Every structure is written in structure tokens, then in C-alpha cells.
Amino acid sequence: MTIKPILIHPDPRLKKVAEPVAEIDEALQRLAEDMLETMYDAPGIGLAAPQLGLSTRLLVMDCAKDEGARPHPYAMFNPEVVWQSDDINVHEEGCLSIPETFAEVTRPAEVVVRWTDPSGEAMEDRFKGLWATCVQHEIDHLEGKLFIDYLKPLKRQLITRKMQKLKRERARAAS
Ligand SMILES: [Zn+2]
């Protein structure tokens, strides 16, 4: 397995609508494994293919992060929300593409998601709490949408400027 570099906002590849996956081959199964490895290494609880610069409708997540909790990884191809609750939930979100930045986002408290697993099997499950927040956040990535797009323009601009500065500093450190 390989740990891949994660794109940092702003980047046009994070704003693109990702392409559906027609057939899950070995390369895509390997990509799902690499994404899980990359996510655990970060560490994070979710990662979507566009964050690696790939226009592929694939996300991974594992929100079982309590101490002693067993890993519960998901890899979802072509995920879609097929039902959402009227109840809403406000959760402080972060993103591996927007490091060290957190903001409250309001989303449906529960969702039912349908997807294809790496073996090609059709799956459906209901998510609530942190899992619901996470899966909606990751599906947004496949639509080219970031959690800061839910914030007021001024706040979003401040965060974008902070990220531009961070990217400049990282580029300088790497050169
Ligand atoms: Zn994210």
C-alpha cells in the first residue's frame, strides 16, 4: 500500500465534479486501499479521490476513532444519498485538504447511502451522528464541494487566504 499526497485547497481539481466508476478493476481496488492507508496515516476519518487529484467517484471513511474501537473501514464507489432526515445536526467539520481549520456545518442528521463496494457488490446503509456528517462531507467532495462552501463568503475568503499562505510556506520548505 502507498501513502499518497493530499491536495490542499485552493486547487481546481478539488472543484471538479468527479466521474462515475463504470467498472471496478484491480487498479481501483488498490486505489481504495491506498486511500484508506493515506487517510489513517494523516490521520483522518474520511478521504475522497478528488483530494488526490483524481476525478473518480470513490470515497473512504472510518469514524470508529474512540480509543480501543476496532477499525470499521468503508470504501464506496459511486455513493449517493437516497434518503435524508428532516432532523438536522450541527457538527464542527475539518478536512484533510484544509488543514487545522474547523467550522460548524449544518446537515441532515441521518442519511441512507447507496454505493458499490470494492468487490462490485451493491450496498446500502443508514448513517447517523459523526458517520452521517462524514459521509455527506465526502460525497460533497465528489461534487467539487468543500465544507467551507457552506460558510459565509468573508469567512471562506479568510480560510482560503490562510491556505494559500500555508501552501507557499510548504513550497518554500520543500525547495
Ligand atoms: Zn474533506
Q: What homologous superfamily is domain 12-174 in, according to CATH?
A: Peptide deformylase (3.90.45.10)
* Phi and psi torsions of 3, nearest 5°: -90, 125
Averaged over 74-86, what is the pLDDT?
98
134 Cα: distance to centroid of ligand 1 (angstroms): 9
140 is written with which cell numbers? Answer: 460533497
Give me the pLDDT at residue 135, please.
98
132 Cα: distance to centroid of ligand 1 (angstroms): 14
Sequence ranges of the domains in the chain: 12-174
* Phi and psi torsions of 142, nearest 5°: -70, -20
Upper half-sphere CA count for residue 26 (Cβ side, 13 Å): 0
pTM, 2 dp: 0.96
Which one of the listed residues 100, 124, 138, 169 is annotated catalytic? 138
Predicted confidence band of residue 65 (pLDDT cuts 50, 70, 90): confident
Give me the pLDDT at residue 1, please.
77
Burial class (CB in 10 A: 0-12, 13-18, 19+), 4: middle
Binding residue ranges: 95, 137, 141
- Whether 104 is catalytic: no
Q: What percent of the chain lies above the pLDDT cut of 70? A: 100
35 Cα: distance to centroid of ligand 1 (angstroms): 13
Q: For residue 53, is it left (φ>0), alpha (ψ between -120 and 50) or beta?
A: left
158 Cα: distance to centroid of ligand 1 (angstroms): 18
Binding residue ranges for Fe cation: 95, 137, 141
Average pLDDT over the chain, rounded to an integer? 96
Q: What is the pLDDT of residues 38-55, one digit of tens each?
A: 999 999 999 999 999 999
Give me the pLDDT at residue 69, please.
84
Give me the pLDDT at residue 48, please.
98
Averaged over 14-28, what is the pLDDT?
98
